[in-house]
Amino acid sequence: MPTRERTLSDQRVLIAADAIELASLSALTPELEYLAVEPEELVRRAAHLRSRVVVWADPDADAGLRSLAAVRAARTEAKLLFVTPPEAEAARLAALEAGVDEVVARPISASELAGRIRLLKRRARPGRRTRLIIGDDIELDLDRRQLLRGDEWIHLRPKEAGLLELFARSPGRALTRDLILEREWGPHHDVDPRTVDVHVRWLRAKIEPDPHTPVWLLTVRGVGYRLETLPLTER
């Protein structure tokens, strides 16, 4: 079963704001390509989308500060815009300390907000990440060296991430245990070859629909293992 690789560079803007503000923004700038989310969903959605700009314009400044700080910690390439009530000076100062790119106090018109978003989009470097699609709902993020299954990030041990990338760079090719040990543990390793089997078992538990009947990471009898995938192209 082949897989395909894609590079995600979503141009959309991710916005948490009230319905009236979103309606005004849509009327003024239908070309803006933004995605409106519930405030409590902002951090989770920002972790999975390649939005270039993330905006908090909901009245709850304290929640906005926590959310944007979490987005900054997880996704440093996104530009962040924080719109606060006029009295929330402490939250604005704390947001700047947390790495938020632009902080604006209300009142602010929809046209000015749209202009600030466009400016941040121009300043944002296009986020480019290479992901290997392993199945319908599971991907390997080669930057994070983590798995994404549906909406859930799955932790990989360093050796697991290295092994999966090694297999991905040799699509369809059977890799021997000795080769895997040399590449991942070094040419002068003193590691039992069965260690490879253990790591493959751990990987299968995370990428296979049924680890006992693998369809992606296959055993090649008398040789080693191979990953069913298409060639990986770096971009």
43-56 residue pLDDT tens: 888 877 667 788 99
Q: How far apart are CA 89 and CA 59, in angstroms?
A: 13
Once rounded to an integer, what is the mean pLDDT over residues 120-132?
64
Q: In what order do the strands lie in the sheet with 13-17?
A: 34-36, 13-17, 53-57, 79-84, 102-105
Tokens of 138: 């599971």
Confidence of residue 212 (pLDDT cuts 50, 70, 90): very high
* Mode of pairing for the β-strands spanning 175-176 and 224-227: antiparallel
Per CATH, is 9-123 categorized as 3.40.50.2300? Answer: yes
Q: What is the CATH number of domain 130-227?
A: 1.10.10.10
Question: Mean pLDDT over all residues of the chain?
Answer: 79
DSSP string, 26-75: HHH-GGG-EEE--GGGHHHHHHHS--SEEEEESS-HHHHHHHHHHHHHH-
Q: Which two tokens stand for residue 235?
A: 């971009």
pLDDT in the model for residue 218: 93
Q: pLDDT value at position 62? A: 92
For the chain, domain boundaries? 9-123, 130-227
